[in-house]
A and B are shown apart, each in its own frame.
Chain A
Amino acid sequence: MSEDEHKHARKKTDEHASEVRLEAMVDTEDGRIAPPPVPATAQSGDLHPEASSQTVVQRIMSGDALVAVLAVVLSLIAGGILIALTDEDVAQTATYFFARPQDMLLAAWSAASEAYLALFQGSVFDYEGETFTRMISPLMQTLTVATPLICAGLGVALAFRAGLFNIGAQGQIIIGATLAAWVGFSLHLPVGIHLLLVIVAGIIGGAIWGGLVGLLKAKTGAHEVILTIMLNYVAIYLVTYLLTTPAFQRPGSSNPISPQLDETAMYPPLFGDAFRLHWGFIVALLATVFVWWLLKRSIIGFELRAVGANPVAARTAGISVTKGYVVVMLIAGALAGLAGVAQVAGTEQVLSSGVAASFGFDAITVALLGRSTPWGTFFAGLLFGAFRAGGVTMQISTGTSIDIVLVVQSLIVLFIAAPPLVRALFHLPEPGKTKGPRRPKGTRSRKPATTGGSA
C-alpha cells in the first residue's frame, strides 16, 4: 500500500529528478541511506561528512518547485479559513449552526471567495472597471509594488546561493535609497545623466552596506545573520537622523522628509502618466536577467555556487571562499540598492525613514519562495506585489483586514521553511530517500495525523 502511495506521488514530480534521487538512495556507500534509527542515533561528524556539511540554507534551497506552489496554495486555504472565521455573517450564522449548518458554510464560503475575488480584482484585473485603463490599473499597481521586491529578493537569493543568509536587504535598501535620493535632489543635472547617476549612487550605497558584511565575515569570521540584522538597525536610525539634518530635510518642513527628487532624476513612467508603473520595473527585469547570467554563465557565479554548495571543495579547487563572500555581498547589496532607487526615483519620489517599508524582509520570503533562482524570485516578487496591491482593495471592498494578507505571506514562509510538513500533508516523497524505503515507525508518528484533508 505504501508502495502505491509512493508511485502515485512520484508521478507528480519530475521524472528526471526522481531518477537522480533513486541513485542517490541506492548508493549506500557514502552514507546516503536513511539513517537507521538504532538506539544511538547520533553519528560522528568525522565519519559522516555529508550530513554535517548540509546547512539549513542548502536544505531550503533544495526544496522543489512543487513544494513552493503547494506552500502558496496551503497558505491561501488557511487564509480563507481565517477570513471566514473573522467574518460577521459567519459569526451570526454560527449561532444557529446546529439548526441550519448550511447557512454558516455558505456564509463562510462567500466571505472567503469574495475576499479573494477582491484580492484578484485589486491586483490583476478589474473586470468592473469602466475604461481599459481602469481595468488594467491593478496589474500596473502590482508591477509597481513588485519592482523593489524583485530587486531586493534577487539580492537575498544570490547570497543564499553562496551559502549566506542575508537578512540585511532592509538596511541595504535604505542606504541605497539615501544615496540615490541625495544625488536626486541636491545635484541638478541634465536628463539622462542625472537618472544614471541616481541609479549608480543607489547601487553603490547598497553595495557598501552589503560588502561591509562580506568583508567582516571574510576577515573576522563574524556571522552574517548577526551582522546584517545589526546593520539594518544602523541604517534605519542613520536615515532617521539624516532626515533631521539640513542636508536632507526638506526646507521649511519640520517633518523628517527629504525634498522631492528632481524630475530629471526620476524613472519615467513606463506606460504614460495614467499609471504609477515606471522604468524601474524594466531595470528589475534586466537585473533578473543579469543575475541569471551571473549564476549560470559567468565564472563569478560558478565560484559563488561552489562556495555555497561546498566551501571545502571550492577551497581545494583554488577558489577563494573569503573573496567569494565579499563579492556576493557586494552584488547582493547592489541589487537591494536598486530596490532603494526604485522607491525614491519611482514610487515614493522622496526619501523618508519609511522608504524601505518592509520590502527588505519580504524580500527574504520572496527569495525563499523563488527557491533562490532568478526567475523564481521574479515571479515570487510579482505574487507578493499582487498581495500588497490587492490587499488594499480587499480591505476597502469587503472589509477584510489587510493583515490577512500578511498572515498568508507569513504562512508561505512557514510552509516553505518546513518542506517536510508540506510533503507530509500531500504525501510527497522525500528527496534523497524516495521510493519505498519504509520510514521506521518512530519517525512516522511525528507526522501530523491529518492527511491531505484541508485540500
Chain B
Amino acid sequence: MKLELKGITKKFGSFVANDHIDLVVEPGQVHSLLGENGAGKSTLMNVLYGLYEPTEGQILIDGKPVEFNGPGDAMAAGIGMVHQHFMLVPVFTVAENIALGNEATKAGGILNLDETRTKIRQISEQYGFQVDPDAVVEDLPVGVQQRAEIIKALVRDAEVLILDEPTAVLTPKETDELLAIIAQLKSDGKSIVFISHKLREVKAVSDLITVIRRGKVVGDADPNASTTDLASMMVGRSVSLSLNKAPAQPGEATFVIDGLTVTAPTGQRVVDNLSLQIAQGEILAIAGVQGNGQTELTEAILGLQEHVSGSIRLEGKELVGRGTKEIINSGVGFVPEDRSVEGLVGAFSVAENMILNRYDQAPFAKGLAMKPARVAENAAERIAEFDVRTQSATAAAGTLSGGNQQKVVMARELSRPLKLFIASQPTRGVDVGSIEFLHKRIVSERDRGTPVMIVSTELDEVLELADRIAVLYQGRLMGIVPGNTSRDRLGLMMAGMGADEAQGTDPARTDPESGDK
C-alpha cells in the first residue's frame, strides 16, 4: 500500500501547524519523521489518522484520494497508530484490549475472545512478540504494553503503522527490541512511519528521513547523513552535539550518602544500603533502567520519602529527618523527573513558578506579603537568561512546550547559590536545541564548584555529562565507574552485573540479549 500526503495544511486559528506538507510512504519502507517538539509531526499524523480534518490538502492511498472522518475510517483503510501515551485499558487483559471496539460476539451478545486470542498468538509468534493474551495490561512492562498496541493495529490488518515517539518510554534494551520488531514488520511488506527526535534511533531504523521544522518539510535526508547534519536540519542552525566539557576539578567531597536504605510502604527495600560521595565541582551520574530506585533516592535526599534510614550529609549537616523546605533552603537545588507533575504548577504563571520554592523569602516576600514587582523582575531576568520561549511571564506554565517548562524549572533551581544540585532526567522530552543549552548550564554549575548529581535513564546523556557514573540496579549500587566507561560495560551493570564482573566480560557477550539476567 502506497500512502501519499499532498499539500496537507492544518491551521489552528491563525497558527499554521502544518504548512503544505508532502509525504510519500512507499510499501515496505521505514519512513522517519524527524523534528523538534512542536514542529508539527504529531499534528500531521493526527490528520492522517482521521483525528483532525486538514484545512487543505489530500490523502491518497495507492493513488486514490480518500477522506477520513475518524480513526475508524483510517483503520479500515489500513492505517494503524501507536500513540506515545498508550490507549489501553489498564485493568483489561491484552486480549480484551485488542478486541475492544472490534468485539466478536457469540449468540446473545456474549463476548467471544477466543478468536482474538488465537490471532494474538499467531501474530505474536510470527514476529516474536512474546505477548500473553490473558495478561492484565497494567501488570505488563511498558515495552510489552507497546507491543500489545502494535498487535492491536496488526489485528486490524494495518499496512501502514504510525509509531509516535515510540522509544520515549522504553529502556535501552526495550528500544533495541522495538527496532528489531520494526525491521521484521518491514521485511513483511508493512510500511512504518517512525516519529522521533532521537537521532541515533532514526538513523538506525530508517530507509528515508523527512525533516520537519515549524510545520514545513525542510527536506529529505539519507539515514547515512551525520548526526550533526541531521540535528542542524532539524533545529535550523548548527548544533554542537558534543559538550566538550573541561575535565572536572573535584574538590572536597561535601555530599556524603552513607548506608542509605529506603523502604517502600510494601516493605520492599527500594534503595538498599547505598553509599556514595560527590565532590565539589564534579558530576556524578546515576545510571540505571527506570524504576531501579533512582526516584526514591532523589526523593529521600529531598526529604520526600517516609521510611528512610542511614545518613545523608551535606557539608557535614545531616539531612535525613529534616523537612523538604529546610533541605531546599540549606542549598539543595532539585529538578524532579516529571516536570509537569512535580516541578511546576501548571496553572501558575511562569513568574510564580520561578519562585515556587522561594516565595516566602527575601526579596520576594516581606513578612506575609509578597512583592509582585520583585517576582516579575526575577521572572524577566530568568526568562532572558535561560531563553524561555513564553508569550509573557504571566502566561500559565502549563501552556509552555516541554523544553521551555524544563527551562523554567532549571532557571528556578540554578538561580540561587547551591551546595548541591540534583537533576532527574534533565532533558527528557526536550528538543535537541534545548538539550545543548541545558547541558551547558549543568556543566557551568559544576564548574562553579557545586557537587552535581544527574539521574538519567539515557546512556547518551550519562556519558555526555558524567565525571563518574554510579549504576543502580534494584536499589543497589552496582559500582561507581569513570565517566568514559564503555556503553557495553554500563549496559551489563544496568542489568545487574557488578562493576568488576562487567569489566571482565568477553566483548562478544555484550549484546543486549546476554546482558539480560
Q: Which residues of A contact B (CB under 8 A)?
A: 3, 6-7, 10, 18-31, 33-34, 36-45, 47-50, 53, 58, 62, 297-300, 302-303, 305-306, 309-310, 312-320, 434-438, 440-442
Closest to B336 in A: A316
- Cα A434 to Cα B342 in complex, Å, equals 27
Distance in Å: Cβ of A26 to nearest Cβ of chain B: 6
With a cutoff of 8 Å between Cβ atoms, the chain B residues found around residue A31 in the complex are: 84-85
Closest to A17 in B: B396
B347 at the interface (CB under 8 A from A): yes
With a cutoff of 8 Å between Cβ atoms, the chain A residues found around residue B13 in the complex are: 6-7, 10, 18, 22, 434-436
Task: Report the interface size for chain B: residues with CB under 8 A from the other chain.
Answer: 79
Q: Are B360 and A299 touching (Cβ within 8 A)?
A: yes
Q: Are B70 and A37 touching (Cβ within 8 A)?
A: yes
Q: Are A39 and B334 touching (Cβ within 8 A)?
A: no
- Cα A20 to Cα B137 in complex, Å, equals 36
Q: Are A437 and B12 touching (Cβ within 8 A)?
A: yes
- Cα A62 to Cα B347 in complex, Å, equals 9
Q: Is the interface of B mostly helix, strand, loop or mixed?
A: loop
Q: Are B51 and A440 touching (Cβ within 8 A)?
A: yes
Distance in Å: Cβ of B149 to nearest Cβ of chain A: 9
Pairs A-B, 10 closest by C-beta atoms: A39-B101, A318-B325, A435-B13, A317-B357, A28-B42, A309-B347, A318-B324, A42-B89, A299-B360, A29-B402
Q: Which residues of B contact A (CB under 8 A)?
A: 11-13, 15, 17, 37-38, 42-43, 46, 49-53, 55, 69-71, 81, 83-90, 92, 97, 100-102, 137-138, 145, 152, 169, 302, 304, 323-329, 334, 336, 338, 340-348, 352, 356-357, 359-360, 365, 368-370, 372, 391, 395-396, 398-402, 405, 429
Of the candidates B46, B90, B357, B396, the one whose C-beta lies within 8 Å of that of A20 is B396
- Cα A434 to Cα B97 in complex, Å, equals 30
Pull 22 A–B residue pairs with CB atoms less than 8 Å apart, ordered by A: A20-B395, A22-B15, A23-B400, A26-B15, A26-B17, A26-B43, A28-B38, A40-B89, A40-B152, A43-B88, A49-B338, A50-B340, A298-B368, A299-B359, A302-B359, A306-B345, A312-B342, A316-B343, A317-B328, A318-B324, A318-B328, A441-B70
With a cutoff of 8 Å between Cβ atoms, the chain B residues found around residue A442 in the complex are: 70
Q: Are A43 and B360 touching (Cβ within 8 A)?
A: no
Of the candidates A23, A45, A305, the one whose C-beta lies within 8 Å of that of B90 is A45
With a cutoff of 8 Å between Cβ atoms, the chain B residues found around residue A20 in the complex are: 391, 395-396, 399
- Cα A174 to Cα B138 in complex, Å, equals 48
Of the candidates B49, B50, B342, B398, the one whose C-beta lies within 8 Å of that of A24 is B398
- Cα A37 to Cα B396 in complex, Å, equals 27
Q: Are A22 and B340 touching (Cβ within 8 A)?
A: no
- Cα A337 to Cα B405 in complex, Å, equals 41
Closest to A313 in B: B345
Knowing A24-B398, A29-B429, say if A316 contacts B304 (CB, 8 Å).
yes
- Cα A391 to Cα B383 in complex, Å, equals 54
Knowing A36-B83, A298-B370, say if A437 contacts B396 (CB, 8 Å).
no
Q: Are A43 and B52 touching (Cβ within 8 A)?
A: no
With a cutoff of 8 Å between Cβ atoms, the chain B residues found around residue A19 in the complex are: 391
Q: Are B90 and A42 touching (Cβ within 8 A)?
A: yes
- Cα A26 to Cα B352 in complex, Å, equals 23
Q: Are B399 and A44 touching (Cβ within 8 A)?
A: no
Q: Are B100 and A39 touching (Cβ within 8 A)?
A: yes
Of the candidates B89, B341, B352, the one whose C-beta lies within 8 Å of that of A49 is B341
- Cα A296 to Cα B184 in complex, Å, equals 58
Of the candidates B51, B347, B360, B405, the one whose C-beta lies within 8 Å of that of A34 is B51
With a cutoff of 8 Å between Cβ atoms, the chain A residues found around residue B71 in the complex are: 36-38, 440
Q: A43-B88, A298-B370 are in contact. List 4 more A-B contacts (CB 8 A).
A: A312-B342, A313-B343, A313-B356, A441-B70
Q: Are A38 and B304 touching (Cβ within 8 A)?
A: no
With a cutoff of 8 Å between Cβ atoms, the chain A residues found around residue B348 in the complex are: 305-306, 309
Number of A-B pairs whose CB atoms are under 8 Å? 197
With a cutoff of 8 Å between Cβ atoms, the chain B residues found around residue A299 in the complex are: 359-360, 365, 368-370
With a cutoff of 8 Å between Cβ atoms, the chain A residues found around residue B50 in the complex are: 440
Q: Are B86 and A316 touching (Cβ within 8 A)?
A: no
- Cα A312 to Cα B341 in complex, Å, equals 6
Distance in Å: Cβ of A50 to nearest Cβ of chain B: 6
- Cα A312 to Cα B344 in complex, Å, equals 9
- Cα A33 to Cα B42 in complex, Å, equals 9
Q: Are B401 and A313 touching (Cβ within 8 A)?
A: no
Closest to B37 in A: A29
With a cutoff of 8 Å between Cβ atoms, the chain B residues found around residue A438 in the complex are: 52-53
- Cα A440 to Cα B49 in complex, Å, equals 11
- Cα A45 to Cα B338 in complex, Å, equals 14
With a cutoff of 8 Å between Cβ atoms, the chain B residues found around residue A3 in the complex are: 55
Q: Are A317 and B15 touching (Cβ within 8 A)?
A: no
Knowing A42-B90, A310-B344, say if A27 contacts B370 (CB, 8 Å).
no
With a cutoff of 8 Å between Cβ atoms, the chain A residues found around residue B365 in the complex are: 299
Of the candidates B88, B342, B344, the one whose C-beta lies within 8 Å of that of A42 is B88
Closest to A47 in B: B85
Most buried by B among A21, A24, A30, A53: A30
Of the candidates A6, A28, A41, A53, the one whose C-beta lies within 8 Å of that of B87 is A41
Distance in Å: Cβ of B142 to nearest Cβ of chain A: 8
Most buried by A among B11, B100, B359, B405: B359
Q: Are A27 and B357 touching (Cβ within 8 A)?
A: no
Distance in Å: Cβ of A257 to nearest Cβ of chain B: 41
Knowing A27-B38, A36-B46, A441-B70, say if A302 contacts B399 (CB, 8 Å).
no
- Cα A98 to Cα B242 in complex, Å, equals 85
Q: Are A40 and B88 touching (Cβ within 8 A)?
A: yes
Knowing A47-B169, A49-B340, A50-B340, say if A300 contacts B368 (CB, 8 Å).
yes
- Cα A390 to Cα B126 in complex, Å, equals 76
Closest to B401 in A: A27
Distance in Å: Cβ of A17 to nearest Cβ of chain B: 10
Q: Are B51 and A58 touching (Cβ within 8 A)?
A: no
Distance in Å: Cβ of B28 to nearest Cβ of chain A: 25
With a cutoff of 8 Å between Cβ atoms, the chain B residues found around residue A50 in the complex are: 340-341, 346, 398
With a cutoff of 8 Å between Cβ atoms, the chain B residues found around residue A41 in the complex are: 87
- Cα A202 to Cα B256 in complex, Å, equals 53
- Cα A452 to Cα B346 in complex, Å, equals 33
Most buried by A among B97, B369, B370: B370
With a cutoff of 8 Å between Cβ atoms, the chain A residues found around residue B325 in the complex are: 318-320
Q: Are A44 and B138 touching (Cβ within 8 A)?
A: yes
With a cutoff of 8 Å between Cβ atoms, the chain B residues found around residue A25 in the complex are: 12
Q: Are A314 and B51 touching (Cβ within 8 A)?
A: no
Knowing A44-B85, A44-B138, say if A27 contacts B70 (CB, 8 Å).
no
With a cutoff of 8 Å between Cβ atoms, the chain B residues found around residue A6 in the complex are: 13
With a cutoff of 8 Å between Cβ atoms, the chain A residues found around residue B399 in the complex are: 20-21, 23-24, 27
Q: Are B86 and A44 touching (Cβ within 8 A)?
A: yes
- Cα A287 to Cα B152 in complex, Å, equals 58
Q: Are B340 and A36 touching (Cβ within 8 A)?
A: no
- Cα A30 to Cα B430 in complex, Å, equals 11
Q: Are A316 and B43 touching (Cβ within 8 A)?
A: no
Closest to A6 in B: B13
